[in-house]
A and B are shown apart, each in its own frame.
Chain A
């Protein structure tokens, strides 16, 4: 069964540093998303991406966050200057038109 692959599985970074989280979508999927889940809390929407541009973003997705699909395959989430409260599981999700979402296994980001 096709999978959404996320790397790294765990990232530890110092506060103020930049991090890039990577996702390899399922090959025929056109819609890409990032969600995050703070420990013990619900999954929260961050951003959606279609046709090489952001289609919707949440209040969480401020100027410190950016997404891109630099090489037509990887879909990345960059946090420019990490804060302690950015510590969470970050999930990439992708889908084809009119089909359900497939989530990756997540990247656990720990900001120290």
Chain B
């Protein structure tokens, strides 16, 4: 079946360094992708999104890259801070405005002081 998955379940990064979290998706019909951050005991928090007609989008300290050829999505966090420690999920959606999000399994990012 269709799925969204992550390559690495855990990632540790030194504070101040850049981090890259990867995600593979398998549904070629997906045209909208979102990265969420989830801190312990909280709901998913929107970080950044990208539509399939783009291959890169930048926010504040975060960049999302989309490679439709290999169905790969990545989240780059620059100059990581202790507050970046969390679980990061990618999610995909078909026909933005359509109903459900399909989430990946998550990567736990730990920032080492």
Q: In the complex, what residues of A have CB within 8 A of residue B34's CB?
A: 100-101
Task: Describe B's contact surface by its main secondary structure.
Answer: loop
CB contacts (< 8 Å) of A4 on chain B: these are 43
Q: Are B100 and A45 in contact (CB under 8 A)?
A: yes
Q: Which of A31, A91, A98 contacts B96 (CB 8 A)?
A: A98
CA distance A91 to B91 in the complex (A): 15
- Is A56 touching B101 in the complex (CB atoms < 8 A)? no
Decide if A55 touches B99 in the complex (CB within 8 Å).
yes
Count B-side interface residues using an 8 Å CB cutoff.
21
Contact: B46 with A102, CB < 8 Å? yes
Pair A43/B44 contact, Cβ less than 8 Å = yes
The verdict on B25 contacting chain A, using a C-beta distance below 8 Å, is no
Least CB distance, A67 to chain B, in whole angstroms: 13
Q: In chain A, what residue has the closest Cβ to B34? A: A100
B residues near A, CB below 8 A?
Answer: 34, 36, 41-46, 49, 89, 91, 96-97, 99-106
A residues in contact (CB < 8 Å) with B: 4, 31, 33, 35, 41-45, 48, 55-56, 58, 91, 93, 97-98, 100-106
Given contacts A4-B43, A100-B49, A105-B42, 8 further A-B contacts (CB under 8 A): A33-B99, A35-B101, A43-B44, A45-B102, A55-B99, A56-B99, A98-B96, A100-B34
Q: Which 3 pairs from chain A and chain B are nearest by CB?
A: A103-B43, A45-B100, A43-B103
Q: List 20 A-B contacts (CB under 8 A).
A: A4-B43, A31-B99, A35-B101, A41-B105, A42-B89, A43-B91, A43-B103, A44-B103, A45-B102, A56-B99, A56-B100, A91-B44, A93-B43, A98-B96, A101-B34, A103-B36, A104-B43, A105-B42, A106-B41, A106-B42
